[in-house]
Chains A and B, each alone.
Chain A
Amino acid sequence: MAVYQHDVVVVGAGLAGMRATLAAIQKGADVAMITKVHPVRSHSNAAQGGINAALTSRGDDWEEHAFETVKGSDYLGDQDAIEVMCQEAGPAIIEMEHMGVIFNRDEEGRLGTRRFGGQQRARTFFVADITGQAMLHVLYEQIVKARARVYEEWFVTSLVMEDGAVRGVAALEMLTGQLHLIKGKAVILCTGGTGRIYEPSTNGLIVTADGQSLAYHVGAPLMDMEMVQYHPTTLKGNGILMTEAARGEGAYLINKDGDRFMKTYAPNMMELASRDVVSRSEQTEINEGRGVDDCVFLDLRHLGRELIETKLSYINEVALDFANVNLAEKPVPIRPGNHYEMGGIKTDVNGRTSVRGLYAAGECACVSVHGGNRLGANSLLDTIIFGRRAGEAAAGDAQEVGESELTESALSPEREAIKKLMDRAPTSDTPAKIRLEMGRVMNEGVAVFRDEAGMQRALRTIVELKERYSRLAVHDKGQVFNTNLIFALEVGFMLDTAEAICLGAIARKESRGAHFRTDFPKRDDEGFMKHTMVTMGPRGPEISYTPVTVTKWKPQVRSY
């Protein structure tokens, strides 16, 4: 074990984490980036379609982008934050291009765009259908160039407090199994989403709500956690994502009769309505018997082989590998699947949480720019805008913070907790069994259509699973690369966060964005145009509310 000291500690090395790290380095801070996987393994990789920005220099209007984001959020997004994001988007795209992202070009060699859901104008910049990977690898290149300090394959198990402020993290070095203290005057959580709480999910196996739970345990509120996005086009079976860019390029959604059913639900925007709207439409088709094997179809045949092979080459490969479908020849069966968490650790536009010394950015944070429903291609934008802002704020604030007195002894509680997990005699219960039960019950009860009974059942199950978890033992007793231990810790994070999702969902007695209740099918601006906050109190989770910031756009009826 050892003690390390830095100005700023960034947890997570996806787009938000690396952008925050670079920003803090540029501000002169000594930065440590801690990540449980190598940076280029981060799940930002899996973002396919693109990144939105209104380039005002070529006649686009950032306010139009902002309004569409507000409307997409079903008026739950904070409009001041949305304005910040949309206004800074243009320069941020240009900056990424200058760093080296190989964005698609138009005939004149300038950045080209494609259309995406919930927006009238084509303002999505892209690299084929691997935009996330392209951006992630370029940010890693910049991390290499900046010679940033990376603690690679280190797993953060808890935040360490001193005088009511976060002043470091406890982290497990996976190669050796040693627990270390990494002190920081500011800690930025950029740990991504919550996908593995659900089964199936488009998300990778590493997406386990780590940051949400870490922050929750030190008293930071989790906001709007009930807003869980189901992506309209995920593959049956393993739930792998088929990008919205397919529809952006003109693909159809059809039911078993070959009808483009979106004409019933969103006659103007059709397949490019907001994701929550499209997912509900699909689920309705399936529920009413117009699907096949719980799926409807994504049809790209009319787009032609050439377009598919150049602009959608990755999903073409995925469809072939995992569904045995050649997209140019056959429609591929798809269905709505868990994809993104709009809610997260409550922050301001500079990533500051309500706990001193703690910051958050990216999917684990809730600024809130996505509100009840995120527009496609706004998530990459969120990561680089608020990643940068959090990095700058943390580096600035860290200058005002004195040396911490923390010593290794701060690790004692953490060491005890891990020792308990390791020392208990193995039973037949495993982290995998607990996760699978959680995933299934969440996917049944807190999904596209929700009602009181289903959500209560999910919550009851989660509470039972937490009880089982308290007796869980790790089977692998080794020190080196003990993935069994890591998985057990991740399951603990997920259970905390799943409970917050259920509580937020049960308390919101209306339908808004991704939260659609069959028992309260209408949006209720009077009662619920407000953010849900779940905070860990002395006697368990507590729910409170905070108002939505409205600047220019009063709530209207939302139709596409």
Chain B
Amino acid sequence: MRVTLDIGRFNPEAADPKPYRQEFALEVEEYYTVLDGLIHIREYEDPTLAVRCSCRASICGSCALRINGHAGLGCKTKLISVMDRNGRVRVDPVGNMAPVKDLVWDMKPFWDKIRAVEPYLQPEGPEPVEEYIAPQEAMLHLVGVMGCIMCGACVSDCTVLEVDKNFLGPAALAKAYRFVGDPRDGATKGRLKRLNEYSGIWDCTRCMECVQVCPKGVAPMERIMVLRDKAIAAGMHGTNGARHAESFAEMVKHTGWLNEFWLVPRTYGMFNLMNLNAMFAALPVAWRALRRGKLPTPLHPKREGAEHVRRIFEKVEGPKP
């Protein structure tokens, strides 16, 4: 099988260290992965090509790359499944992180964020003589998150990190979830409190990219959503995110529809002086929306059939505790 790998390269020691592209045309077997192709280049075409790799079986997490613009593992992606009609595949280093050389990137910020979520079990009380008793369903559920191999694919394609480097990011937040979800961990309250702050769970925009690109089905965004629920359930209502979610649901529940006019002030907190600036900042947007006839009136009457919507809510929420 004929394939052309179009590789985004970088040599920090070049006289003019700028990223450049280089193409390699290869004759390979049909079962070859992107990583097999890169190793073939490194071994037989150009030994200076730098790429991290080890296990070849999607367990060590070394070979995260961008393949045709999206992050994934080189070893888990067959060339035949990603090449275009002309046999071309574009390979680049991951995004959101600084390149070191070719496809090797600086992982320090990645690990710093993992460390920031106190990534170790913190049990409460005296240690039992034998194992902690824990339900099998809870353990099986955690295996799904623990399956994270820390490859960084999710961080590479996170759209929030593109604009705010401080965001903890999908990998670290999924790691945090692994402990919050562990019945043996006793530090849930403190963990949620920290995750509830700026750079934490409420900074995710739910773009789904991390879920799409994760090679291990960890679904970081879904874990972040559960962390939000848990934070609210633990009484942490005082964030824009929590207010946004709660007022959104509240409005729909009572009237059957969402009135954006009220969503903004209720998200920032109606009487929250701290957020006055943010509210003023929203005024030009509101003005433009008004001019184009897209701002609803402050009136927010019940729609016909609103009681049906309410019943759905009650069914989902279950009986009041």
Residue pair A97, B132 in contact (C-beta under 8 Å): yes
Determine the chain A residues whose CB is within 8 A of the CB of B139 once the complex forms: 102-105
Complex contact B120–A142 (CB within 8 A): yes
B contact residues, total (Cβ < 8 Å): 55
- The answer on a CB contact under 8 Å between A321 and B58 is yes
Contact call A98/B127, Cβ cutoff below 8 A: yes
**A416 to B139 CA separation, bound complex (whole angstroms):** 53
Q: In the docked arrangement, what's the CA distance between A310 and B147, Å?
A: 12
Q: A130-B59, A204-B55, A481-B100 are in contact. List 14 more A-B contacts (CB 8 A).
A: A37-B60, A38-B107, A40-B60, A41-B62, A45-B149, A102-B142, A105-B135, A109-B136, A238-B56, A318-B58, A322-B57, A432-B44, A478-B13, A480-B12
Binary contact readout B76-116 vs A (1 if CB under 8 angstroms, 0 otherwise): 10100000000000000000000011001001000100110
Tell me whether A133 and B47 are in contact (CB under 8 A): no
Ordered by A's residue number, 13 sampled pairs between the chains whose C-beta atoms are within 8 Å are: A41-B54, A43-B54, A46-B57, A99-B120, A102-B139, A110-B133, A141-B121, A175-B100, A238-B36, A321-B76, A321-B78, A474-B47, A476-B47
Q: Is B278 an interface residue (CB 8 A)?
A: no
Cβ-neighbour of A94 out of B39, B57, B131, B142 (below 8 A):
B131
Asked if A549 is at the interface of the complex by the 8 Å CB criterion, the answer is no
Interfacial residues of chain B within 121-174, with CB under 8 A of chain A in the complex: 121, 123, 127, 130-136, 139-140, 142-143, 146-147, 149-150
Minimum Cβ distance to chain B for residue A325 (Å): 12
Contact A318 B57 (CB under 8 A): yes
Interface residues of A in 35-49 (CB under 8 A from B): 37-38, 40-43, 45-46
The one of A137, A175, A432 in contact with B146, judged by C-beta atoms closer than 8 angstroms, is A137
What are the residues of chain A within 8 A of B150 when measuring CB–CB?
40, 137
Query: How far apart are the CA atoms of A46 and B61 in the complex, in Å?
Result: 11
Q: Is the CB of A476 within 8 A of B48?
A: yes
Ordered nearest first, which 8 A-B pairs have the shortest CB separation?
A100-B121, A432-B43, A204-B54, A141-B120, A475-B47, A105-B136, A476-B48, A109-B133
Contacts of B104 in A (CB 8 A): 481
Q: Cα distance A241–B59 when bound, in Å? A: 12
- B198 part of interface (Cβ distance < 8 Å): no
How far does the Cβ of A519 sit from chain B's closest Cβ, in whole Å? 35
Flag whether B279 is at the interface (Cβ < 8 A).
no
Task: Please name all residues of chain B whose beta carbon is closer than 8 Å to the beta carbon of A102 when the two chains form the complex.
Answer: 139, 142-143, 146, 182
Contacts of B184 in A (CB 8 A): 100
Closest residue of chain B to A202, judged by CB? B57
Could you tell me the distance between the alpha carbons of A482 and B130 in the complex, rounded to whole angstroms?
48
- From A130, which residue of chain B is reached at the shortest CB distance? B147
Which of A41, A238, A310 touches B60 (beta carbons < 8 Å)?
Answer: A41
Contact code string A98-133 (vs B, CB < 8 Å = 1, else 0): 111011111111111000000000000001101001
Q: Is A272 an interface residue (CB 8 A)?
A: no
CB distance from A463 to the nearest CB of B (A): 23
A547 nearest CB across to chain B (Å): 38
Given A103-B131, A105-B136, A481-B101, does the pair A45, B56 have CB atoms closer than 8 Å? no
Q: How far is the CA of A138 from the CA of B184 in the complex (A)?
A: 14
Q: Establish whether residues A107 and B120, one from each chain, have CB atoms under 8 Å apart when the complex forms.
A: no
Q: Which residues of B contact A432 (CB under 8 A)?
A: 42-44, 47
Q: Which residues of A contact B53 (CB under 8 A)?
A: 205
Instruction: Determine how close the nearest CB of chain B comes to the CB of A323; give it in whole angstroms.
Output: 9
Q: How far is the CA of A378 from the CA of B130 in the complex (A)?
A: 21
Assess whether A240 is interfacial by the CB under 8 Å rule.
Answer: yes
Asked whether A544 is an interface residue with its Cβ less than 8 Å from the other chain, the reply is no
The total of chain A residues at the interface (CB under 8 A) is: 62
Q: Does A179 contact B (CB under 8 A)?
A: no
Whether A134 lies near B146 (C-beta < 8 A) is yes
Interface of B is mostly: loop
Contacts of B50 in A (CB 8 A): 481-483
| Contact between chains at B130 and A57 (CB < 8 Å) | yes
Are A100's CB and B120's CB within 8 A?
yes
Q: How far is the CA of A40 from the CA of B13 in the complex (A)?
A: 29
The CA-CA distance from A321 to B59 in the complex, in Å, is 13
For residue B119, CB closer than 8 A to chain A, the reply is yes
Q: Is the CB–CB distance between A310 and B140 below 8 Å?
A: yes
Closest-by-CB residue of A relative to B131 is A97
A351 to B58, CA, bound (A): 32
**Assembled-state Cα–Cα distance A357/B133 (Å):** 42
Q: Quick check: is A144 within 8 A (CB to CB) of the other chain?
A: yes
- The answer to whether B47 touches A314, judged by C-beta atoms less than 8 angstroms apart, is no
Which B residues are CB-close (under 8 A) to A127?
143, 146
At the interface, yes or no: B189 with Cβ under 8 Å from chain A?
no
Instruction: Known A109-B133, A204-B54, A204-B55; judge A144-B13 contact (CB<8 A).
Output: no
Q: Which residues of B contact A476 (CB under 8 A)?
A: 47-48
A354 adjacent to chain B (CB < 8 Å): no
Q: How far is the CA of A474 from the CA of B60 in the complex (A)?
A: 27
Closest to B43 in A: A432
Partner of B131, one of A110, A145, A205: A110
Whole-angstrom distance between the alpha carbons of A111 and B143 in the complex?
15
| Interface: B275 (CB within 8 A) | no
Residues of B within 8 A of A134 (CB): 143, 146
Contact of A478 among B11, B56, B111, B135 (CB under 8 A): B11
Residues of B near A108 (CB, < 8 A) are 133
B31 adjacent to chain A (CB < 8 Å): yes
The interface residues of chain B lying within 8 Å CB-to-CB of A109 are 133-136
**Closest CB-CB distance, A105 to chain B, in whole Å?**
4
Does chain A have a CB within 8 A of B52? yes
Q: Judging by beta carbons under 8 Å apart, are B60 and A46 in contact?
A: yes
Most buried by A among B13, B55, B132, B182: B55
B61 touching A41 by the CB < 8 A rule?
yes
Q: How far is the CA of A260 from the CA of B90 in the complex (A)?
A: 46
CB distance from B175 to the nearest CB of A (A): 9
Question: By the criterion CB–CB under 8 Å, are B47 and A430 in contact?
Answer: yes
The answer to whether residues A105 and B134 also contact, given A43-B55, A204-B55, A432-B43 and a CB cut-off of 8 A, is: yes
| Residue from B57, B101, B120 whose CB has the most chain A CB atoms within 10 Å | B57
Closest to B39 in A: A205
Least CB separation from B119: chain A residue: A141
B132 touches A98 (CB 8 A): yes
